[in-house]
């Protein structure tokens, strides 16, 4: 996006916030490793403690235990199976609601950090990473799954007037 295309006026909100929803969401999710733990459960199907450690290099047992407890306390995960030998965690509805955020981060990383993400260093669209049915299930039926040339182009943003209001569509 060229600097001239970036809207300079603030976006008009339909409601006033008592607190910033992004800041509120980052309370637990912004803690180091929290999103990766949710990723482990949702995308890697690593639902046990040692599985999570194995797929997340650098995370210590102590930190994993702390984050699991925080995510459980905040309602993102639950202990779905508990025995003397192991515990399995699963996403709650609240945890599943984070999946579109994770999918967006995957998309961002695949585009802007392809040299670190892929061994061939080539940029890929989501459809080149995940099955289209999975993308629709996570992002919902209203999100189009773009293929071919369209998948390589960013979606067009709605035109914005200088005052920050969307431009009315011509009829």
Tens of pLDDT, residue by residue over 13-55, are 899 999 999 999 999 999 999 999 999 999 999 999 999 999 9
Domains of the chain: which residue ranges? Answer: 21-93, 98-152
What is the C-alpha to C-alpha distance for residues 10 and 64, in angstroms, rounded to an integer?
39
What is the per-residue pLDDT across 45-93, written as a single tens digit (0 to 9) for each? 999 999 999 999 999 999 999 999 999 999 999 999 999 999 999 999 9
CA distance 167 to 103: 29
**Cα-based distances in Å from 29 to 104, 146, 151:** 15, 29, 29
21-93: CATH, from 1.10.10.10, 2.30.40.10, 2.60.40.180, 1.10.40.30: 1.10.10.10
Contact 124, 110 (CB under 8 A): yes
């Amino acid at each position: 996006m060229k600097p001239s295309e970036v809207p300079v006026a603030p976006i008009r909100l339909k409601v006033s916030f008592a607190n910033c929803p992004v800041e509120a969401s980052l309370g637990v999710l912004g803690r180091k490793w929290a999103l990766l733990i949710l990723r482990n459960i949702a995308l890697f199907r690593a639902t046990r403690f040692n599985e999570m450690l194995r797929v997340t290099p650098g995370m210590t047992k102590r930190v994993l235990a702390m984050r699991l407890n925080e995510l459980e306390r905040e309602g993102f995960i639950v202990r779905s199976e508990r025995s003397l030998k192991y515990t399995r965690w699963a996403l709650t509805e609240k945890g599943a609601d984070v999946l579109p955020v994770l999918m967006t981060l995957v998309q961002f990383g695949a585009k802007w950090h392809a040299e670190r993400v892929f061994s061939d260093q080539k940029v890929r669209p989501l459809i080149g990473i995940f099955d289209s049915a999975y993308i629709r299930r996570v992002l919902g039926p209203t999100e189009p799954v773009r293929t071919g040339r369209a998948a390589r182009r960013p979606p067009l943003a709605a035109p914005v007037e200088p005052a920050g209001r969307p431009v009315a569509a011509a009829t």
